[in-house]
């Protein structure tokens, strides 16, 4: 669940939102022994939200924003290997289930098994311990953040910055759609979604309406990224029907690309300058 500011709370209290997200990551990591898949996935998700919140306060306290984001990046990185193995297993098995060609489905199931074996070699407990230390660093940096100087203006500028960066990534992805440009768009769309959700009780309804489109775009782009990772992994294999599997996955990915860009076009149709003026007027 994304942490939010209550209607009566000022943007200057955003550090409390980040600390709550960090606590969610810590709580998830407590389950690293009993449910490692859940622990890694939920911890990384909470860390991403905390880092996204740090980017939102960039116009209010840039030094703190950068330090918080850097500590969060370190926390996420130590969990990345486990996440990659676990998610690739799920992606491959899911693709096999939805495949109607038995030979291609067999290729995908085999890739899922390989990812599973990769995952067995990872020391998740050690990674969780390192992540906890990085989360402690992150929390200490959050405590130093100061948004007391004109928080309304900082909020407006922060949201405007998020929107402008996302629209720029959309324009790049539209002109040259590929795994890299669409993944970068996905990250900025998720920022926009997190930020409008975090501020949904303190910001105008016109912004809140964007959240559903942002979720749809992020989900489509996430599925696109998953297929890109699976295709890249299969590209290193030499076995019967691997090329057929790659061709089928690329066709599915192309359909996702079209839907994602169509949704993003609706999401980012406004001029960033006009949106910035509206946000300032509402602050």
Q: Write the pLDDT tens digit of every residue in 109-167.
A: 999 999 999 999 999 999 999 999 999 999 999 999 999 999 988 988 998 999 999 99
Task: Specify the 3-state DSSP secondary structure of 115.
Answer: helix
Write down the pLDDT at residue 266.
93
Per-residue confidence (pLDDT) for residue 10, from 0 to 100: 80
Q: How confident is the model at residue 283 (pLDDT cuts 50, 70, 90)?
A: low
Q: 69-78, 102-111, 189-198 — which is least confidently predicted? A: 189-198
Average pLDDT of span 47-76: 96
For residue 273, pLDDT over 90 is answered with no
Percent of the chain past pLDDT 70, that is, above it, reads: 94
Buried b (16+ CB within 10 A) or exposed e, 151-165: beebbbbbbbbbbbb
User: What is the domain partition of the chain in residue ranges?
Assistant: 8-99+122-149, 150-283
According to the model, what pLDDT value does residue 206 have? Answer: 57
188/210: higher pLDDT:
188
* pLDDT tens, residue by residue, 245-261: 999 999 999 999 999 99
Report residue 196's pLDDT band, with 50, 70 and 90 as the boundaries: confident
Within 8 A by CB and 6+ apart from 187, the residues are 169
DSSP state of 256: H
**Res 205: pLDDT:** 61
| Sole residue written with tokens 């928080």 | 151
Main-chain dihedrals φ then ψ at residue 176, nearest 5 degrees: -145, 75
Q: Check pLDDT > 80 for residue 178.
A: yes
CA distance 159 to 119: 38
Which tens digits make up the pLDDT trace of 206-225? 566 677 889 999 999 999 99
Confidence bin at 5 (pLDDT 50/70/90): confident
Predicted pLDDT at 282: 62
* Lowest-pLDDT range of 53-62, 223-232, 270-279: 270-279
**Residue 203 pLDDT > 70:** no
Rg (CA), the chain: 20
pLDDT at residue 207, as a whole number: 60
Map tokens 């990551």 to a residue. Answer: 25
Check if the beta carbon of residue 122 is closer than 8 Å to that of residue 81.
yes
- With a pLDDT cut of 90, the percent of the chain lying above it is 79
């Amino acid at each position: 669940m994304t942490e939010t500011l209550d209607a009566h709370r000022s943007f200057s209290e955003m550090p409390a939102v980040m600390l709550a997200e960090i606590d969610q990551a810590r709580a998830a990591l407590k389950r690293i022994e009993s449910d490692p898949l859940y622990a890694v996935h939920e911890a990384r998700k909470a860390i991403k939200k905390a880092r996204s919140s740090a980017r939102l306060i960039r116009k209010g306290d840039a030094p703190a924003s950068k330090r918080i984001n850097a500590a969060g990046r370190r926390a996420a990185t130590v969990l990345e290997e486990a996440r990659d193995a676990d998610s690739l297993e799920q992606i491959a098995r899911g693709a096999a289930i939805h495949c109607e060609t038995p030979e291609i489905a067999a290729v995908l199931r085999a890739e899922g098994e390989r990812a599973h074996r990769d995952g067995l070699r990872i020391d998740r407990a050690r990674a969780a311990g390192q992540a906890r230390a990085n989360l402690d660093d992150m929390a200490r940096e959050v405590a130093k953040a100061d948004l007391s100087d004109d928080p309304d203006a900082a909020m407006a500028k922060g949201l405007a910055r998020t929107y402008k960066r996302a629209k720029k990534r959309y324009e790049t992805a539209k002109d040259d759609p590929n795994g890299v440009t669409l993944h970068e768009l996905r990250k900025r769309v998720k920022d926009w979604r997190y930020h409008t959700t975090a501020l949904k009780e303190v910001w105008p309804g016109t912004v809140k309406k964007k959240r559903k489109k942002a979720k749809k775009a992020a989900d489509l782009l996430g599925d696109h990224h998953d297929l890109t990772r699976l295709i890249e992994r299969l590209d290193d294999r030499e076995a019967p029907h691997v090329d057929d599997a790659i061709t089928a996955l690329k066709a599915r990915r192309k359909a996702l690309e079209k839907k994602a860009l169509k949704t993003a076009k609706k999401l980012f149709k406004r001029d960033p300058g006009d949106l910035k003026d509206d946000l300032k007027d509402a602050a």
